[in-house]
């Protein structure tokens, strides 16, 4: 079967660092997306990892371990505007296969 | 500017009525998708289309129908068979499944 797990909710403090984990079990794995979604809005693309390792993009970094079926999104210097849901999504080697989304992690930032 | 447009932003359905949600993109993307999102939940795939005149059921296709007569357009009809249609509906597109999806702003459907 196919399964993606993320924590339902997390809370962090403004200016701090938070790590949002995503684990997956799927055959024919190709890559993993991270999206940000503010309440009532559409998701926006953050990152895409295909190879093992860390990719840094400003305050946001994303890590992938293909052997462990594990990814995380690291947010540094948290700002209030980072309060949102963060969705991980898995793509398959067969491009006819659909993208599989996790249920998302709601991140609350405290002042 | 290229983008993906959904309309209307808000839609109300009466009992026994079919309603159609519009999704148009000018990004020249081959693949288009419809998702349903319930409050506090993730995205659930309703239908997707990899190419014109072809589409596949997603995880929750019952009570919905789609068409893909043009590359730019992928309308979703919520039929009267969908007994709990109140949700936020998102349309997305990409060149293929290994490219980021671009999302429309969504349509919020409610029951009168």
Looking at chain A, which residue has its C-alpha nearest residue B5? Answer: A42
**In chain B, which residues have their Cβ closer than 8 Å to the Cβ of A42?**
90, 103-106
Hey, CA dihedral for A37, B12, B49, B70, is it positive or negative? Answer: negative
B106: chain A residues, CB-CB within 8 Å: 40-42
* Average pLDDT over every residue of A66-78: 97
Q: What is the per-residue pLDDT for A18? A: 98
Query: How much is the pLDDT for A95?
Result: 67
**Does A91 contact B48 at a Cβ distance shorter than 8 Å?**
no
List Cβ neighbours of A70 (8 Å cut-off, separation of 6 or more). Answer: A21, A22, A23, A24, A64
CB B15 within 8 A of CB B78: no
Structure confidence at residue A1 as a pLDDT band (50, 70, 90): low
Quickly state the pLDDT bin for A27 (edges 50, 70, 90).
confident
Query: CA A29 to CA A24: how far, in whole Å?
Result: 9
- Which residues in chain A have their CB less than 8 angstroms from residue B100's CB? 33, 45, 48
pLDDT digit string, tens, across residues B11-33: 998 888 999 999 999 999 999 99
Place of tokens 């926006």: A44
What are B54-103's pLDDT values in tens digits? 999 999 999 999 999 999 999 999 998 888 999 999 999 999 878 899 99
A68 vs A93, more confident: A68
- Answer whether residue A97 shows pLDDT above 80: no
At residue B3, does pLDDT exceed 90? yes
What pLDDT is attached to residue B1? Answer: 62
């Amino acid at each position: 079967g196919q399964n993606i797990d993320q924590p339902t909710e997390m809370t962090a403090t403004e200016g701090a660092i938070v790590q949002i984990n995503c684990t997956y079990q799927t055959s024919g794995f190709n890559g993993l997306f991270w999206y940000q979604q503010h309440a009532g809005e559409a998701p926006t693309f953050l990152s895409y990892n295909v190879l093992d390792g860390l990719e840094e993009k400003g305050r946001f970094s994303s890590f992938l371990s293909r052997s462990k079926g594990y990814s995380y999104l690291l947010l540094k210097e948290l700002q209030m505007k980072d309060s949102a849901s963060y969705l991980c999504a898995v793509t398959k080697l067969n491009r006819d296969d659909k993208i599989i989304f996790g249920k998302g992690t709601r991140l609350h930032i405290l002042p | 500017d290229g983008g993906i447009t959904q309309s209307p932003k808000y839609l109300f359905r009466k009992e026994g009525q079919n309603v159609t949600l519009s999704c148009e993109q000018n990004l020249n993307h081959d693949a288009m998708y419809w998702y349903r999102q319930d409050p506090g939940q993730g995205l659930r795939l309703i239908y997707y289309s990899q190419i014109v005149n072809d589409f596949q059921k997603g995880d929750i296709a019952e009570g919905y129908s789609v068409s893909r007569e043009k590359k730019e357009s992928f309308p979703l009809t919520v039929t009267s068979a969908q007994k709990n249609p109140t949700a936020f509906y998102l349309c997305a597109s990409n060149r293929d499944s290994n490219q980021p999806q671009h999302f429309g702003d969504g349509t919020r459907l409610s029951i009168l």
